[in-house]
Amino acid sequence: MAKLRVAVHKFSSCDGCQMQLLNMEQDLLTLAERVEIANFIEASSTVLPGPYDVSFVEGSVSTHEERERIRRIRAESRLLIAIGACATSGGIQALRNWGRHEAFLHAVYATPETIDSLAQSTPFSEHVKVDAELYGCPPDPGQLKRVIADLLAGVPPWVPTEAVCLQ
Ligand code: SF4
């Protein structure tokens, strides 16, 4: 049986959602025979190019580079799953959406002209088609496991309607 080719991509984020995946260590080991982790920089320096069956995306779109990259990832992923509050709503970094972006840049950076930063931090769904969203900061591990199990079973991933906060 062909393995499910999975990628995990980081955007503007604290890495907490990726850590949640890594914390599922025992489950991931069990899945190892059925899943090929093709791209997961937090876990391995091996980065294989797409196409991917499933891409999990963490973080928000906050830079020009990220805006271009999510389009490329969408094009090379059969399913795109946004994980966490940053990915589904823009996250804490979206607080800047209600302020003056230029003023923030000058207040924080000595050379703001060198910073690649969009005026708004936005969820992936504002840029590309997203197949499923998992809420929470970070998402509940039980929800992640359920989605992965559905993908392996070849059925549409179950999508929770409630947010789960583990903090
Ligand atoms: Fe970190 Fe929370 Fe954003 Fe996940 S949703 S990357 S845990 S801030």
Instruction: Please tell me if the CB atom of residue 8 comes closer than 6 angstroms to any atom of ligand 1.
Output: no
Provide mean pLDDT across the span 12-32.
Answer: 87
In order of their start, the domains of the chain are: 4-153 (3.40.50.700)
Ligand 1 center to 95 CA (angstroms):
14
pTM recorded for the entire structure: 0.91
Instruction: Give φ, ψ of 117 to 5 degrees.
Output: -150, 130
pLDDT on residue 26: 79
The token pair at 146 is 């359920």
pLDDT on residue 56: 96
Mutate to test the pocket of ligand 1, among 12, 15, 17 (most ligand atoms within 8 A of CB): 17
Nearest to 16 by CA among 118, 94, 85, 67: 85
Ligand 1 center to 12 CA (angstroms):
9
